[in-house]
Amino acid sequence: MAEIRPSKPGYGVGVNGFDKLKVRLDRAAFFAKVFRSAKVAAPVRPSGLAQFIKAARLTKVGPHLAIMFHAAAHPDKEAIVEYGERGVRRLTWGELDATVNRLAHALASRGAGSGSRVAIMLPNGIEFLLAQQALARLGATAVQIGYRLKPGEIAFILGNSEPNVTIVQASYLPTMREARAQVGGKGGPMIACGGDVPTDATDVIEWDRALASQPPELPPRVRGGDGGGVIVYTSGTTGKPKGANRSWKRTGFESVGDMIYQCGMRADDRQLVVCPLYHSAAPAFVAISLALGATVVLQNHFDPEQALSIIEREKITCTLMVPTMMIRICALPKPALDKYDTSSLRWVMSGAAPLTTDAARRFMERFGPILWNFYGSTETGLVTMAGPGDHLTHPGTIGKALRGNDIRLLDDKGHEVRRGEVGELYARNATLMTGYHGNDGATNDAQRDGFYSVGDLGRVDDDGYYYLESRKHDMVISGGVNIYPREIEDHLQTHPGILEAAVIGVPDPEWGETLHAFVVRRAGAHVSDNDVIDYCRKELADYKRPRKVTFLPELPRNPTGKVLKRELRDL
């Protein structure tokens, strides 16, 4: 595989030994500050600490060590809560650690081990988090499969990743079996959870039966392999998805530490998880909370009013949401919004899709100055972050670069653009993926000199704040002029009768391309084609005015909230 190997800041050519020492000391001081602010250093029983140290010697370094530590330090504290189809389920740190061990043994007995891959096709739930931690304990790699995918899409992932074992929700078994049939049965033995599995089934075993005979002690120390990690398949807004391969052994934490410190993540947090765990953002934020010893509360499927109810009932302090979720919450009738006490919230993070200035304003008007926004991707990890005040002083910003990030804005020839000009955003940090699994060509095409791009176009102002303008393939050229649909979309969403909008370029014999707007009206609003066009004509240059408008009940989106513009083009 053509791997991405970013150089670490401060360790480049020409850095002498003294400078290296300064960098190390600075990094150590920084993480000590993060550690104190997060309140991780809670009192730990000496016997618990001794238990953790003894156990840690028997396993490899990985994210699962945090689970072991908290299980030893406070075994009776609540670790995971799930609001799902089986009601409310709760798991303590001690129960979590023991069940992770049982699952690790069950997976190892079916062929999973260091360097192997295991497919996970589960909804948000306790089993998903158990599977991730068990695989880290084995040094195996999780292949995350979206449960909304069709058999052909799943078959592509199975053929590309070739997992040794598959963990699947029982209700998805027919889809998974059809997908496996398309790739000659690839996927290995199956473990199914959350439903009835026939006892005479030869290709699958039920979750509880698989774990029942397994011990709660650590599995044998893994040898060799790459230390495990995760393969997350990109959303596939264009073409076939690509499997971004991330290794635990090669993941840095400076940008994560910076985010923890800035937004105030703490060990006493209670994080509500509403985004799908099979993507990249949600499990990353869950991993951070678990590492700190915080409690994770899972919502099986997002429902805006139920989310508010859970926030009140569980005294939720923080959550990650995609902008669509925040828009839907703010669109609830006022009696529903006023019904729930959300005063326990300390911060809400927005990510995975562009956050419009109007959406940020509406959310903070209702919930207060608690909204943060990050930019990053499955491939790059965290790159920039904006705080509540930034949304007011620098509308539309994605924030400043997080610690450990180098960012370049490049033109089509690879030259850096001047401040204020738009260029393709390339990032380099210690959280870059190792590459696209089995796709060296795509890995090479996406990077320049160790800097990685996912095709976003952006600019930076004189204060160091970054802004996204568009996706590179979404940019419209009309009459030789570059048009960035994001600008028109943001403007349309300030219209009191428009809930959401998306703009694409369509072929035009005279101009090359012209703009076509797709609009979702607010409930009860009466907005016409001419209203939309005139609203743009008043504030935007004439060439940025849509020539055609289509009204839709909702915009087509992938599970992480990104608008699927290919489907709009098909319309």
| The overall pTM is greater than 0.95 | no
From 250, 275, 290, give the residue that closes a domain.
Answer: 250
- Report whether 554 contacts 562 (CB < 8 A): no
Which of left, alpha, beta for 449 (phi over 0: left; psi -120 to 50: alpha)? left
The predicted structure's pLDDT at residue 560: 65
Residue 368 included in any domain = no
Residue 90 included in any domain = yes
pLDDT digits (tens, 9 = 90+) for 12-53: 444 567 777 777 788 788 878 888 888 876 666 677 677 777
* Mean pLDDT (whole number) for 215-223: 82
- Report whether 527 contacts 521 (CB < 8 A): yes
- Report whether 381 contacts 394 (CB < 8 A): no
> Could you give the dihedral angle defined by the CA atoms of residues 187, 191, 195 and 196, in that order, rounded to the nearest 10 degrees?
100
From 199, 225, 250, give the residue that closes a domain.
Answer: 250
Q: What is the spatial distance between Cα 74 and Cα 93, in angstroms, rounded to a whole number?
A: 7
pLDDT digits (tens, 9 = 90+) for 523-571: 888 999 899 999 998 888 787 889 999 999 998 887 666 788 878 887 7
- Report whether 552 contacts 522 (CB < 8 A): no
Residues of the chain with pLDDT > 90: what percent?
A: 49
Residue 156 included in any domain = yes
Which residues contact residue 434 at a Cβ distance below 8 angstroms, ignoring those fewer than 6 apart? 1, 3, 4, 229, 245, 246, 247, 250
- pLDDT, the chain, mean: 86
Kindly report the CATH number assigned to the domain that includes residue 96.
Answer: 3.40.50.12780
- Which helix (H) or strand (E) segment is 81 a member of? strand 78-84
Nearest to 459 by CA among 428, 520, 418: 418
How many helices (H) and strands (E) would you count in the chain? Answer: 19, 28
Q: What is the spatial distance between Cα 275 and Cα 277, in angstroms, rounded to a whole number?
A: 6
Q: Which whole-number Å values give the CA distances from 116 to 119, 162, 163, 165, 487, in the listed order? A: 10, 9, 7, 9, 45
Tokens linked to 20: 């290296």
E-assigned strands of 288-405?
295-299, 318-321, 347-350, 371-377, 381-386, 397-401
E-assigned strands of 315-465?
318-321, 347-350, 371-377, 381-386, 397-401, 406-410, 423-428, 435-436, 447-448, 451-452, 456-460
Between residues 145 and 539, which one has the greater pLDDT?
145
User: What is the SS3 assignment for 390?
Assistant: helix
Residue 329 included in any domain = no
- Which helix (H) or strand (E) segment is 22 a member of? helix 17-37
Q: Which of 99-108, 159-168, 436-445 shows the lowest mean pLDDT across its residues?
A: 436-445
Which residues span the domain enclosing 487? 475-570
The predicted structure's pLDDT at residue 32: 83
Q: What is the spatial distance between Cα 217 and Cα 101, in angstroms, rounded to a whole number?
A: 6
Q: What is the spatial distance between Cα 416 and Cα 151, in angstroms, rounded to a whole number?
A: 43
Between residues 438 and 168, which one has the greater pLDDT?
168
The predicted structure's pLDDT at residue 226: 63
The predicted structure's pLDDT at residue 10: 45
Residues of the chain with pLDDT > 70: what percent?
A: 92
DSSP per-residue letters across 500-549: EEEEEEEEETTTEEEEEEEEEEPTT----HHHHHHHHHHHS-GGGS-SEE
- Which helix (H) or strand (E) segment is 204 a member of? strand 204-206
Residue 242 included in any domain = yes
Amino acid residing at 265: M
From 206, 226, 250, give the residue that closes a domain.
Answer: 250
209-243 burial, b at 16+ Cβ within 10 Å, e below that, comes to ebbeebeeebbeebeebbbbbbbbbbbbbeeebbb
How many separate domains does the chain show? Answer: 2
Instruction: Read off the pLDDT band of 244 (50, 70, 90).
Output: confident
Residue 296 included in any domain = no
Residue 13 included in any domain = no
Nearest to 315 by CA among 336, 335, 343: 343
- Which helix (H) or strand (E) segment is 84 a member of? strand 78-84
Q: Which whole-number Å values give the CA distances from 149 to 35, 146, 528, 559, in the listed order? A: 40, 6, 35, 10
Kindly report the CATH number assigned to the domain that includes residue 507.
Answer: 3.30.300.30
Q: What is the spatial distance between Cα 70 and Cα 387, in angstroms, rounded to a whole number?
A: 30
113: buried, middle or exposed (CB in 10 Å: 19+, 13-18, 0-12)? buried
**Rounded (10°) angle between helices 281-292 and 126-138:** 80
Rounded to 5 degrees, what are φ and ψ at 358?
-65, -40
Between residues 60 and 217, which one has the greater pLDDT?
217
pLDDT digits (tens, 9 = 90+) for 51-69: 777 777 767 777 778 888 8
Considering only CA atoms, give the Rg of the chain.
24
Q: Work out whether strand 466-471 and strand 397-401 pair parallel, antiparallel, or are unpaired.
A: antiparallel
Instruction: Read off the pLDDT band of 2 (50, 70, 90).
Output: low
Residue 88 included in any domain = yes
pLDDT digits (tens, 9 = 90+) for 248-260: 777 778 898 999 9
- Report whether 556 contacts 148 (CB < 8 A): no
